[in-house]
């Protein structure tokens, strides 16, 4: 365990009125106003980068309600925030609430929260400070509730670095913590999600022979070979993927995202590279996908190297919806059947460590990362209601 980072709640910048219940949309506005851009998407020295300031604020806020809080650094100035409401009696159950604290980059005006009608606008409002505000509100309410669960430990694990390499959740998972359920906060339109696709970035590289542009027949054009490869991926390989179906996730997909080749117009290019995004279904792994693609290229007489680029696996999630706590959460959300989403998140990291995990939160992923990111205040309040109802049913 990393050293505890002490947060002083009595400093003026950390004061929060103890006699005032947390209001979700007010808290969300406060969170949006504290930039926490993932450093991977920020320039060196950018004052908006990192999760430290946001975690300091959350720690100071929750500590006013008597909630134990600690910050565990996963890298310099980049903590996971861990808050705990311990039961009055012996712990028989542990539930983890796990939103993330980092966001993608944004323009300066996106860090100025704006309330318009039923919406809160701002960077991270949807992904995923809305979930963070809902969870913190629920914890504060439970801390003031004498009749809260007597045998359940409720843990807030607010992770850093979800948007890039999931260093926060991966570090937490390696700590060996056990839990009966993790509810990972992401914009799911208030649907309880038990399955999501995995994510794999694949580099394809073709090689040729350089020659003068006036005598291309003396060379071998690597871009032409790549063009044929892309055409086959877009048609034949995409057709193979569309024939596979998961009841909640549909088909796996592949999309070419970048291409680089050649050095100047009058030289036949001897190298071309693309990077494709491959979304996987349960049962697929990085190894099996790369093996399949190599066989596909060989069968189509295409010549290219194939390799996975992500530093750590980003597998699919496929949690059994019949797990009692999952079924209870579905009931609280008045949802007869679980949902599935196309995006990858921290849930699969926790599930890979043996923690049954689902995804749940206010907002629509279609509204995330854009110039007008927003979340509905009604959805925010509804998320608080579902989570509190669920937690209050625990032993």
From first to last of its 395 residues, the chain has per-residue pLDDT tens of 333 333 333 443 333 434 458 999 999 999 999 999 999 999 999 999 999 999 999 999 999 999 999 999 999 999 999 999 999 999 999 999 999 999 999 999 999 999 999 999 999 999 999 999 999 999 999 999 989 999 999 999 999 999 999 999 999 999 999 999 999 999 999 999 999 999 999 999 999 999 999 999 999 999 999 999 999 999 999 999 999 999 999 999 999 999 999 999 999 999 999 999 999 999 999 999 999 999 999 999 999 999 999 999 999 999 999 999 999 999 999 999 999 999 999 999 999 999 999 999 999 999 999 999 999 999 999 999 999 999 999 99
Co-location of 225 and 244 in the same domain: yes
Structurally, the chain folds into a number of domains equal to 2
Q: What is the CATH number of the domain that holds 225?
A: 3.30.70.360
Same domain, 236 and 255: yes
Judge if 77 and 211 occupy the same domain: no
Asked whether residue 180 falls in the same domain as residue 202, the answer is no
Question: Exposed, middle or buried: residue 181 (CB in 10 Å: 0-12, 13-18, 19+)?
Answer: buried
Q: Are residues 348 and 322 in the same domain?
A: yes
How far apart, in whole angstroms, are the C-alpha atoms of residue 76 and residue 73? 7
Q: pTM of the entire structure?
A: 0.92
Cβ 223 vs Cβ 229: under 8 Å? no
**CATH code for the domain in which residue 55 is found:** 3.40.630.10
Same domain flag for 13 and 66: yes
CA distance 113 to 189: 21
**Same domain assignment for residues 207 and 277:** yes
pLDDT for the residue 15 = 39
The boundaries of the domain holding residue 170 are: 4-196+316-392
Mean of pLDDT over the chain: 94
Cβ atoms 190, 383 nearer than 8 A: yes
Same domain, 274 and 218: yes
Cα separation, 186 vs 371, in Å, equals 18
In this prediction, residue 20 carries a pLDDT of 59
């Amino acid at each position: 365990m990393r050293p505890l980072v002490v947060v002083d709640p009595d400093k003026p910048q950390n004061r929060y009125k103890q006699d005032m219940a947390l209001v979700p949309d007010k808290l969300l506005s406060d969170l949006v106003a504290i930039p926490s851009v993932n450093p991977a998407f920020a320039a060196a020295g950018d004052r908006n980068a990192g999760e430290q300031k946001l975690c300091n604020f959350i720690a100071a806020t929750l500590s006013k309600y008597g909630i134990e809080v600690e910050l565990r650094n996963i890298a310099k100035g980049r903590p996971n925030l861990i808050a705990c409401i311990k039961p009055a009696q012996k712990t028989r159950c542990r539930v983890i609430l796990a939103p993330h604290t980092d966001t993608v980059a944004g323009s300066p005006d996106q860090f100025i929260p704006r309330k318009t009608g039923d919406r809160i606008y701002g960077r991270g409002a949807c992904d995923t400070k809305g979930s963070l505000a809902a969870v913190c509100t629920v914890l504060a309410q439970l801390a003031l509730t004498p009749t809260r669960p007597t045998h359940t430990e409720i843990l807030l694990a607010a992770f850093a670095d979800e948007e890039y390499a999931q260093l926060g959740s991966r570090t937490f998972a390696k700590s060996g913590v056990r839990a009966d359920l993790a509810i990972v906060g992401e914009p799911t339109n208030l649907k309880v999600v038990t399955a999501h696709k995995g994510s794999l970035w694949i580099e394809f590289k073709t090689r040729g022979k350089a020659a003068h542009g006036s005598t291309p027949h003396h060379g071998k054009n690597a871009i032409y070979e790549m063009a044929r490869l892309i055409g086959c991926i877009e048609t034949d390989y995409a057709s193979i993927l569309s024939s596979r179906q998961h009841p909640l996730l549909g088909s796996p997909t592949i999309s070419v995202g970048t291409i680089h080749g050649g050095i100047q117009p009058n030289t036949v290019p001897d190298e071309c590279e693309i990077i494709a995004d491959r979304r996987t279904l349960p049962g697929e792994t990085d190894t099996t996908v790369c093996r399949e693609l190599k066989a596909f290229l060989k069968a189509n007489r295409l010549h290219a190297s194939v390799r996975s680029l992500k530093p750590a696996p980003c597998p699919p999630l496929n949690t059994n919806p019949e797990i009692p706590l999952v079924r209870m959460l579905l009931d609280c959300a008045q949802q007869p059947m679980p949902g599935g989403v196309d995006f990858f998140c921290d849930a699969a990291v926790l599930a890979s460590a043996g923690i049954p995990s689902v995804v749940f939160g206010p907002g629509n992923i279609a509204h995330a990362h854009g110039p007008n990111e927003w979340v509905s205040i009604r959805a925010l309040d509804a998320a608080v209601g579902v989570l509190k109802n669920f937690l209050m049913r625990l032993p």
